[in-house]
Amino acid sequence: MTTQQLIEQIKIKKSFLAVGLDVDLDKIPPHLLELEDPIFEFNKAIIDATHDLCVAYKPNIAFFEAYGIKGWMALQKTINYINDTYPDIFTIADAKRGDIGNTSSMYAKAFFEDLNFDSVTVAPYMGKDSVEPFLAFENKHTIMLALTSNEGAFDFQTLLVDGKELYKQVLETSKTWKNSENLMYVVGATKAEYFTEIRKIIPDSFILVPGVGAQGGSLSEVCKYGMNDNIGLLINSSRGIIYASKGTDYAEKARAEALKMQQEMAEIVRLKF
Amino acid sequence: MTTQQLIEQIKIKKSFLAVGLDVDLDKIPPHLLELEDPIFEFNKAIIDATHDLCVAYKPNIAFFEAYGIKGWMALQKTINYINDTYPDIFTIADAKRGDIGNTSSMYAKAFFEDLNFDSVTVAPYMGKDSVEPFLAFENKHTIMLALTSNEGAFDFQTLLVDGKELYKQVLETSKTWKNSENLMYVVGATKAEYFTEIRKIIPDSFILVPGVGAQGGSLSEVCKYGMNDNIGLLINSSRGIIYASKGTDYAEKARAEALKMQQEMAEIVRLKF
């Protein structure tokens, strides 16, 4: 999917919501555990109930890997289901990968070719040659960690490097990399006040924003400081939507939570376009 | 495996070699491609041919993920084979993971519980709460990226933070984290001259050293600057050993390459203990 197609979907759906699929067998409705593939069945119901309210799904790869081969099979079924049934949805493999060049190439192959995701999250610590193998893919997107939503973001990301925070250095340096037009960034919703400065460095890039909901970030604050002319934000909510109920009504309740967010977003999109 | 047991194995085998299992179907002997699980068969032959010469195996997770479910199955068979057949071998999941706390917990579960690796490599960018879920596991080891072997290491890792390089800040800060006695670090062999300064910060920690061989690092230089009283190094070689031959003699040739390294290491171990 191209960036322009993503922007079109935001306009059509009046939504810039990404739904995070962090499926924990201890948290899903217990009646699903009797099924052959509870993770996929849970995802499928959530997707069917929310696909018109969001523009993206973000499977969190850790939650699939934790269940070994069964988890990986559920991941493959989930991404295939989205791609086959709702091809206008933007898909994000939240994997936070990054390694030396020949190894990053294999990760890129895993997520872009084998699983056919539109995008993958990557970590910047290993620098240019760890990210460029992802950027080399046409019409695929690489979403690099800049300033994350967790407390540990203050351990290294906000340290001053030549008088400038490390995450700003990451933004500025990565802009110079080959095919950097395919780069998006992760900035946590819990750090809304930082968006003004971030937008000065990357005015046009899409930003994936985790941390609304369970982690405490505010949608309106993020929009106030982080939006650009194309909205330029993908706001992710995982637990707040998918675990809205532990009963048989979980998909319905997930839709209700997603609808609340979409309605708030619709007001914002209407003002913009 | 405890650190003390690892040190015992180094003494017994007179080796601190880790063999990296980066299995690329384009690079293994073509006759293996006819088998049902060429990745596992390749690994098994390499392991059987080298297990007495090395103290660790380091499957590179990207190379398994790139082959989807078949790759994940080959990974599971490989780690099970090592654990069942050669239980004294230290196993390293080279995965470079790291995410917010609840997600890192799932990665820790994947590699320490589901797959039963002794250790996993992690990235430091997201800070303390992204690493502590790995550290929480008893008798498991977390190997954090400090200064990597690739060119991109100079993009961020060596930037000055308050007059001190970022990788040194990573070493110093992480020493204060809970259960930091379970921390090891990655420092590339291509940066041998940096080891002196690194040892001042982490005198006792084990360091996993990639980059000898295909990437150009020197074993003797690394040992000169990086050893401590317990050796304290795991020197990894991947391509230089496993791809020594593309013929039916690949395992034999891999052994010959591993033996060259072990013999060089044996001299060093003899001088030490």
B150 closest CB neighbour out of A126, A145, A154: A126
CB atoms within 10 A of CB A151: 15
| Mean pLDDT to the nearest integer, B234-255 | 97
| pLDDT tens-digit readout, B186-200 | 999 998 889 999 999
pLDDT at residue number A162: 85
| pLDDT tens-digit readout, A139-174 | 999 999 999 999 999 999 999 998 899 999 999 999
Give me the helix-helix angle, B250-272 and B219-226, nearest 10°.
30
pLDDT at residue number A60: 98
Nearest chain B residue (CA) to A112: B66
Q: What is the ipTM of this complex?
A: 0.96
Q: Do B107 and A160 touch (CB under 8 A)?
A: no
Nearest chain A residue (CA) to B211: A100
Q: Do B103 and A173 touch (CB under 8 A)?
A: no
d(CA A123, CA A84) in angstroms, rounded, equals 29
Residues with Cβ within 8 Å of B181's Cβ and at least 6 positions away in sequence, in order, are none
The active-site residue out of B44, B70, B96, B164 is B96
| Min distance B267 CA to chain A CA atoms (Å) | 31
Tokens of A36: 């052959």
d(CA B3, CA A141) in angstroms, rounded, equals 41
* Residue appearing with tokens 């939570």: A257
Of A49-53, B100-104, B159-163, B205-209, the one with minimum mean pLDDT is B159-163
To test the contact with chain B by mutation, choose from A77, A126, A159 the residue with the greatest count of B C-beta atoms within 10 A, namely A126
pLDDT at residue number A217: 87
The structural domains of chain B, ordered by start, are: 3-272 (3.20.20.70)
pLDDT at residue number B213: 77
d(CA A13, CA A197) in angstroms, rounded, equals 29
Sheet containing B164-165: which strands, arranged edge to edge?
A164-165, A160-161, B160-161, B164-165
Q: Do B156 and A169 touch (CB under 8 A)?
A: yes
Does the pLDDT value for residue B123 go beyond 80?
A: yes
Q: In angstroms, how far is CA A25 from the centroid of its own chain? A: 21
Q: In this structure, are residues A65 and A72 in contact, taking their beta carbons and an 8 Å threshold? A: yes
Asked if B96 is an active-site residue, the reply is: yes
User: Side-chain half-sphere of A199: how many Cα atoms within 13 Å?
Assistant: 17
Which residues from B are below 8 Å from A62, CB to CB? 97, 99, 103-104, 106-107, 110
| pLDDT tens-digit readout, B25-81 | 999 999 999 999 999 999 999 999 999 999 999 999 999 999 999 999 999 999 999
Nearest to B124 by CA among B56, B65, B52, B174: B174
DSSP per position, B154-208: HHHTTSEETTEEHHHHHHHHHTTSTTGGGEEEEE-GGGGGGHHHHHHH-SSS-EE
According to DSSP, the residues that pair with B186 across neighbouring strands are B145, B208
- Which pLDDT band, with edges at 50, 70 and 90, does B212 fall under? confident
Nearest chain A residue (CA) to B112: A66
